[in-house]
A and B are shown apart, each in its own frame.
Chain A
C-alpha cells in the first residue's frame, strides 16, 4: 500500500513539475535590471568600476598643470 501511495505521489509530482517547469517565466521576472548575472563577466564589470572615478580624478590635475603654464 505504501509503495502504491509513494508511486502515485512521485508520478503526480513529476507531472506537475513537467507542466509548470516548461512555462516560460513572466516578463515581470525576466525584464529586470537587477537580475543575477550568472558567470564571470558580471564580476569583471564590478571590478572595473572602482577604476573609473580614479581616472576622472586624474584629469583635473592635468588641467591645473596646464593652467600654471
Chain B
C-alpha cells in the first residue's frame, strides 16, 4: 500500500531512478546487466521469503521475541519505504527476518488458542498468492488505473480505520466491530483480506512492467519488498479472520 505512495513520492522528488528510468525513453543509458529482470525480482522475493521462514522458525521457538521483533520490523519497514529505492536491498532482508520472527511468535499464540490455525493461515496465504499469480499471468485479472485507484483508496481507508481504532484504544474505547466475531466483524475481515489479496496483483504488475521497461537493477529489491509487505499483511489478516471464525 504505502510502498506505492512512496513510489509516487520518490517520483515527485526528482530521484533519477524514477524520473529518468521509469519509461522506455530513459532506459537507453542503462547496460543490460544493470536492468531489472523478472527472474531477478522473483529470486529476490524468494530470498526475502526464505529469510522470513527462518525468522518464523526462530519466533516459533522463542515467542518472547515477538514484540521486540514486531517493533523493529515495523521501524525497518518505514525506513525502507521512505529511503531512496537504491538502498532498499540493504534493509529489506532485515525487515523480512524480523517480521518472520514476529509472525512466528504471533502464530504460536494463535496455535495455543486454536490448534491447527497456523497451517490453515499459511496454506490460505500461499494458496491466494499462487492463484492470483496464475490469474495475473494468464490475463484473467487485468489491473487498470481505475483498479489501482480503487485498491489504493480502500487500503488507505482500512489503514485510517486501524489508526483511529489504535488511538482510541489508549482512551479505553475503540471501534468494536473491527475485532468482534459477529457477522459484521467477519464481513469486515473478509473485505480486508480481499483488499490485501488484490494488492498482490498491483505488486505483480509493478514487477512485470518494471522488468519490461528495464528499470535499474535495484528496483528488483523494491518490487520484492513490496510483495513481502503485502504477503505479511495478508497472512495477519487471514489469521485474524480464522480466529474470529473459530471463536464463534
Contacts and interface: CB of A to CB of B under 8 A. Distances in A.
Contacts of A5: 119
Contacts of B53: 10, 14
Given A6-B122, A39-B22, A20 B145 contact: no
| Most B Cβ at <10 Å: residue of A6, A16, A18, A40 | A40
Q: Chain A contact residues: over half helix, strand or loop, or mixed?
A: helix
B176 to A, nearest CB: 33
A3 B104 CA distance: 11
Contacts of A32: 142
| Most A Cβ at <10 Å: residue of B56, B60, B137 | B137
Nearest to B123: A9
A14 to B, nearest CB: 6
A20 B46 contact: no
Given A25-B137, A30-B208, A39-B23, A20 B130 contact: yes
B46 A10 contact: no
Interface string B202-232: 1011101110100000000000000000000
B7 interface: yes
A40 to B, nearest CB: 4
A48 to B, nearest CB: 15
Interface string B1-44: 00000011001100000110011000000000000001100110
Interface residues of B, number: 48
A39 B11 contact: yes
Interface residues of A, number: 33
B139 A29 contact: yes
Contacts of A6: 56-57, 60, 118-119, 122
A47 interface: no
B77 interface: no
B165 interface: no
